[in-house]
Structure 1
């Protein structure tokens, strides 16, 4: 932590007057963007040490850290399926003895019986020790329908970049002479058992401005990658290009995708010879699934179909065979959500389509069945007023595996068959006495009259206003749904639980920019409309104050990644309202974000600061440019990773430097590993939860004044 008493020390390296910073030349802290720079890391080490010296000395810190570690390492957690692979299921298991994880496999029969007989395939911790690498698991892509060969992605330290190696499930070993790719932000998928789709870093000209692959090649087994045949390419200003395949019954459909922007895609079918045929999907539609020879997509703009005009948010299908035949397939509607609904997840099993719908932010699972007279929809029987998530579906047969939870109810994994009742396979144990708390959904009225939902958790029979933590995201169509309090969205485990157990209130705000009500909810906060998401957040805070549930100055605003833009903006705009902000892996300097790491890929969301008209509206809310030197600004806590290769650590570093120069209280914790997710293991996640609890108690807790 650097407090107001540290002003004198700050003057040694920063001017007392900060320029408007509309250009790079106006930024005195640009040197902090040198990720591994000696001077920058020395400053990071100082801030880390100052923060830990204060917060680890708080009486609650050791207890909170130990409790968090116990919860995160609990061996009674659900072994969620990474993938259902024929009659087998895979899972990555992490606990105290295996912090980086065990990738393992069991029969689907034993798994559904609740007694899986696991066989370990890869011990990630041991592999890292043997190879002298800090490996972090990034997943496995196994070739259907046999699933014997898999492409394993491992990241050194948790960065988005990873290495790829071919693995044989039958022998439990990496394949000698198999497919391998060095560390890069690669796009890799199976074309067939002896060929891969590959997009990777091949040097100059092979990556987009956003740092992702621009070229798609077919790489044959046993050949040098330099001989791989190019089948598609994007432009330098695109986001990325990639190839992928989907097994539909006995048919393998192959595709390439060029993404000109974050919200547009040009998808083509790939024939067996590598030639391509464009799909007729609108560029802003979202590819969801393939079933019975149909490609199914979610609309984000209106489309004329055989049944009339379909509105944004609907599911629509096209015949893939018609595309191959060269005809113009007529799209038709598969499912239309209601005005209060939004489609959040779609997955195909053998003959069914499974759709997870939000209805006023409450989850429902719907089964869609194709028929001669159209598609029929059936609501599946699951606990109401819950968050539902599709874990996977069976490739053979028609069963969806879903988790169901709420803020006060721990997750339960259900197998939901097309015929028969849902069966609970596993449940996590309760980690706290839920009878002590209440949860209610409330609605605030934003500046333009929009009703904004939010969930409020607080102790039963609570008297008077309570210190309140509000978490939100508000971007990229990502809905924020209520989850069990031990796993709220901080990348720091049970902070939400610790906060309400201390007698305080926790709020999850469903502000615009997310996907809670479909495309319109997102579009209402795009680019020049971004202020709507900030207004929504203010409206929730003001509603809590008006209801005498909290008081100004005793509210903390929390957000991660895109949420860093959110909390930075609301803190600048209403310092009277907020007493603290939690800013994780944050975007903050919107003047330079498109020049830092993957930032250029998000210009369709925020705008291009190098375009005068865009910067005119971005300048109004960019957190870094609007920081002020007043004494009564909210005390910020920035947490991040040095190895984050998605959102540049320079954002948080430069904001911290400004706080220091202004003599303002702030806290800072930059972990050297972990990537964008920050924590690479439970030890770090537990530490962060305890630090944040100590910070909240110190800044907005009952005794903070």
Structure 2
């Protein structure tokens, strides 16, 4: 197939002169009802006029009508933007390449996902041996006409006879579990409902372990709080109501639990959590004694104090990565057969963050993070020195799954300017060979990926990745720049490919990703420095990143845009309130916007670890001080704002975005637009079909280009 492709060298960027956004027609926002709700919070009377927008759009006709009217205004505006169609075309081109997932080996079979490029969802294939012919096992594209039903997680049984998989419909966090007979390709009658936040763990080939919540009340599936999660065992060929409850804590309904089974099938390891903090309890069930003891769980770690990541087990020997007495993590092991088992340190804490580890063959593969970029090492099971795995520059390595006795493992490597390539590594020699490499419509070498450090308000040194074309970097002139951040929940933002970002870069923009406090880039201290009473540090870091980009001549002073999703949507809302003068445009996606009521819906109760408790005065004072919904400054010029959410988002319920947008539109914030884009049959992000992702990306880029002054003049460079 012939297609035009464009290189940065073929762009006319008009860098020498000023670029300004042309004024758009005045927007008439839909009328939004204001109620007179006022509540007393520790002596402060706080209005909440748009609380009625919290109702589930499926069961509230007035909310559904508001959504339809808002979408009509937003769609009309976005469709009028001059570069929207071209951005959609270019995002589609950047996505149109064959993509593979990491293979998983079970018996002699290899299982992996593949998307030919523009399929709505990736398909699942199996090969018998690496050189065997691929056979299609699951095609999610046939599950729904709109492509919005997705294959989520999947796990083959030990010998590859069965495949357990989870189905995600319309973007919800709820999952349906099903089982496939791999040889025949037939789906078994087994079906599990109301699974959520679950691992998939086979017990031999007789059945599997999973986690679920009680069925919610009618009409409350997408808003009610999630309590009483338990681990169950499902025996193949039996109905769900016959499943055995393996582990639960009825005296602590706020606890959550997930189960894994060691590769040799000997031990079940149950990890329990209270909130989002990486502070866990661990219990172990010895399957060798199940006939005698049933599902008797023995405590291994108690107290919810530290992170415990199971690496693997062999017999009664277990390996974990933990931050107990090691804020940047270390590798430890324990022998449960010992009369007095105790932890043995295998790999001590280092300056770099030990993200994860795996046992492959008779060696350990360690995945480290240094300044938010990956590197890996292979060492002996006893910690004896091994070798460093060479990776291709600044990027993110993932995978390295395997089990004792394996001769190989697979890993992926990606960066901002290059999609993931899959490699097969000989664990004994360390030699890596490509398993699947993308064929691209552009030259990754035309783009510069660099890392710089800047100083935040309190003097903290913060890293930031900056990506732009080499031609723009060499020209040394500032250009419209998109700054992205998250800063929370111990999540590290690392280099990764995005077709939407590539379209922005190709059009002449720059992209920056700031590794803010609150994330996991530097371990426990970095996370603690950006949560609860320290949350303002996250906002200060993001603001300082924007100031740095302008001061360094990377971003145009009137051309800096910001973007963030979920906790990052909160980030965008907060910094826009605090520094509206710094930004030309902002995109807040599926954000947590009402910090006084976030804990009342679905998984929101978990987030108190990072945010605090709205019903405790000390926490309330902090939350009230930055809550995006409650701190909009009437009479101040704001940047152009596009809010995005989805009707099936049951992680951060769309009421957050609805209320925030209504408050923005009611305030006097200047002439720039404040719009909301509400997707249907979509959720918090995962499972979104390709066409919907392209449309959303094009809307966002066209909006940002309009208000940052990005001057686009694509010229065909050559054909491919």
Range class of TM-score, shorter chain: 0.7 to 0.9
Aligned to 1:86: 107
SS in 2 for 1:619: helix
* Counterpart residue number, 1:68: 91
Q: Distance in 1 between matches of 2:247 and 2:591?
A: 34
Q: How big is the shift at 1:166?
A: 1.9
Aligned to 2:13: none
Aligned to 2:427: 418
TM-score by length of 1: 0.87
Equivalent residue for 1:122?
Answer: 138
State the 1:81 CA deviation: 2.4
Q: Is the Cα contact below 8 Å between 2:194 and 2:212 reproduced in 1? A: no
Question: Offset of 1:573 from its aligned partner?
Answer: 1.1
> For 1:22-33, what aligned pairs fall within 5 Å after superposition?
26-33=47-54
Q: Which runs of 5+ in 1 are unaligned?
A: 111-115, 303-309, 488-493
Tell me how far 1:690 sits from its aligned partner: 0.9
Other-structure match for 1:401? 410
Report matched runs for 1:434-513 at 5 Å. Answer: 434-458=444-468, 459-484=472-497, 487=498, 494-513=499-518
More displaced 10-residue stretch of structure 1: 393-402 or 352-361 = 393-402
The reply on whether 1:279 has 2:284 as its aligned counterpart is no
Residue matched to 2:698: 690
Q: C-alpha separation between the residues in 2 aligned to 1:573 and 1:68?
A: 33
Equivalent position of 1:259 in the other structure = 273
Alpha-carbon distance in 1 for matches of 2:611, 2:129:
44
1:29 CA drift (Å):
0.9
Q: How much does 1:663 deviate?
A: 4.8
RMSD: 3.0
Distance across 2 between alignment mates of 1:626 and 1:49: 27
Post-superposition Cα deviations, 1:208-266, rounded to whole Å, max 9, x if no partner, equal: 98515523333444555444443422245524123331214xx4311223322322222
Find the aligned partners of 2:31 and 2:535 in 1 and give their Cα distance: 35
TM-score (norm 2): 0.85
How far does residue 613 in structure 1 lie from its aligned partner after superposition? 1.6
Contact 1:439 1:457 in 2 (8 A): yes
Distance (Å, rounded) in 1 between the aligned partners of 2:259 and 2:486:
30
**Helix, strand or coil for the counterpart of 1:366?**
strand
Q: Residue 352 of structure 1 contacts residue 398 of structure 1 at CA under 8 Å; is this kept in 2?
A: no
Counterpart of 1:215 (choices 230, 240, 250) is 230
Given that 2:357 and 2:365 are in contact with CA atoms closer than 8 Å, whether structure 1 keeps it comes out as yes
CA deviation after TM superposition for structure 1 residue 436, in Å: 4.0
Q: What corresponds to 2:399 in structure 1? A: 390
Q: Matched residue of 2:76: which SS? A: helix
Structure 2 distance, partners of 1:219, 1:196, is 5
SS in 2 for 1:419: coil
Corresponding position: 1:433 with 2:456 = no
Instruction: Please say if residues 133 and 156 of structure 1, whose CA atoms lie closer than 8 Å, have aligned partners that are also in contact.
Output: no
Q: Does the 8 A contact of 2:332 with 2:344 survive in 1?
A: yes
Change (3 A) 1:260 1:438: closer
- Selected match of 1:353 from 364, 388, 408: 364
Match in the other structure for 1:41: 64
1:157 aligns with 2:170: yes
The aligned counterpart of 1:243 is 259
* Alignment match of 1:628 (pick from 626, 629, 633): 633
Secondary structure at the aligned position of 2:391 is classed as coil
Counterpart-to-counterpart distance in 2, 1:140 and 1:676: 20
Q: Which residue of 2 aligns with 1:138?
A: 152
Paired residues for 1:152-231 under 5 Å: 152-176=165-189, 179-185=190-196, 187=198, 189-203=201-215, 210-211=225-226, 213-231=228-246
1:261-289 per-residue CA deviation (whole Å, 9 max, x = no partner) reads 32222211113221111113763222231
User: Would you say 1:328 and 2:340 are equivalent positions?
Assistant: yes
Q: Is the 8 A contact 1:86 1:395 kept in 2?
A: no
1:583 aligned to which of 566, 575, 588: 588
Task: Give the CA deviation at 1:532.
Answer: 1.3
Note the C-alpha offset of 1:454.
Answer: 0.6
617-626 or 425-434, which deviates more: 425-434
Query: How far apart, in 2, do the equivalents of 1:197 and 1:433 lie?
Result: 46
Are the aligned partners of 2:518 and 2:526 in contact in 1 as well (CA < 8 Å)?
yes
Rounded Cα–Cα distance in structure 2 between residues aligned with 1:353 and 1:387: 19
Deviates more, 1:55-64 or 1:223-232: 223-232
Cα distance, 1:26 vs structure 2: 2.2
Aligned to 1:306: none
Does residue 104 (structure 1) correspond to residue 125 (structure 2)? The answer is yes
Query: Are the aligned partners of 1:245 and 1:255 in contact in 2 as well (CA < 8 Å)?
Result: yes
Which of 8, 13, 33 is 2:33 aligned to?
13
Give the C-alpha shift of residue 560 in structure 1: 0.9
Secondary structure in structure 1 of the residue aligned to 2:115: strand
Q: How many residues were matched structurally?
A: 664
Q: What do residues 586-634 of structure 1 show as CA deviations (whole Å, max 9, x unaligned)?
A: 1111111110221001111211111112112222222211122234112
CA distances 1:78-127 after superposition (whole Å, capped 9, x unpaired): x22252323322223334674233221113422xxxxx621011222224
Distance in 2 between residues matched to 1:418 and 1:198, nearest whole Å: 31
- Answer yes or no: is the 8 Å Cα contact 2:487–2:567 preserved in 1: yes
C-alpha contact 2:360 2:427 (8 A) present in aligned 1: no
Preserved contact between residue 562 and residue 585 of structure 2 (Cα < 8 Å): yes
Contact between 2:584 and 2:707, CA under 8 Å: does it hold in 1?
yes
Q: 1:630 to 1:84 in 2, by over 3 A?
A: farther
> Relative to structure 1, is the Cα distance of residues 695 and 24 closer, same or farther in structure 2, using a 3 angstrom cutoff?
farther
Whether 1:557 and 2:562 are equivalent positions in the alignment is: yes
8 Å contact 1:209–1:239 — kept in the other structure? no
Counterpart secondary structure, 2:628: coil
Answer yes or no: is 1:288 the counterpart of 2:310. Answer: yes
Counterparts of 1:87 and 1:536, CA distance in 2? 50
Q: CA contact under 8 A between 2:276 and 2:606: conserved in structure 1?
A: yes
The answer for the alignment partner of 2:390 in structure 1 is 381
8 A contact 2:310–2:321 mirrored in 1: yes
Q: Name the counterpart of 1:490.
A: none
Q: 1:544 aligns with which of 540, 545, 549?
A: 549
Go from structure 1 to structure 2 and tell me whether the alpha carbon gap of 1:4 and 1:55 turns closer, same or farther (over 3 Å shift).
Answer: closer
